[in-house]
Amino acid sequence: MITRRLLIGSTTTFLAQLVTASSTKSAFIHDLPNLTMKDWQATAVEVSYGPGESSPAHRHPGITIAYVLEGEIRSKVGDGPERTYRAGEMFLETPGQLHGVSANASTTKPAKLLAILLAEKGKPLTTPEK
């Protein structure tokens, strides 16, 4: 007779073996600022750049995590160096940081990124730099 305890124990063991057997690797690790996220929401935005296109310098009120879906994106965030990110790579913007460069690195191929914006509800997600 299978008891509830035996069934739960067997299921837990099976799931643990599946997780252990799967191949996982960290794609992105970054420290986060100390924030209270009361009344915040997550918004996902797909940003597409045609060949040679770019966005003007801007800021975000919350945390932005960007994942390059296609092509290559040139980016400069805060005081960091300008860097080119390829498909599968990620970068992070902390609240209020200047995103001075956001552009397609190619003049012949499109590029696309997925931005996950975590910000207080009701605030504009992007503010152009003056």
Query: Could you tell me the residue ranges of all domains in the chain?
Result: 27-128
Q: What is the pLDDT of residues 57-110, one digit of tens each?
A: 999 999 999 999 999 999 999 999 999 999 999 999 999 999 999 999 999 999
**Given this model, what pLDDT does residue 1 score?**
45
Best CA proximity match to 29, nearest among 76, 102, 92: 92
Question: Among 2-6, 94-98, 117-121, 126-130, which stretch is predicted with the lowest mean pLDDT?
Answer: 2-6
- The whole-chain average pLDDT of the chain stands at 85
How far, rounded to the nearest angstrom, does the alpha carbon of residue 78 sit from its chain's CA centroid? 16
pTM: 0.75
The end-to-end CA distance of the chain, in Å, is 72
Q: Which of 117, 105, 121 is nearest to 67 (CA)?
A: 117
Domain 27-128 CATH assignment equals 3.20.20.80: no
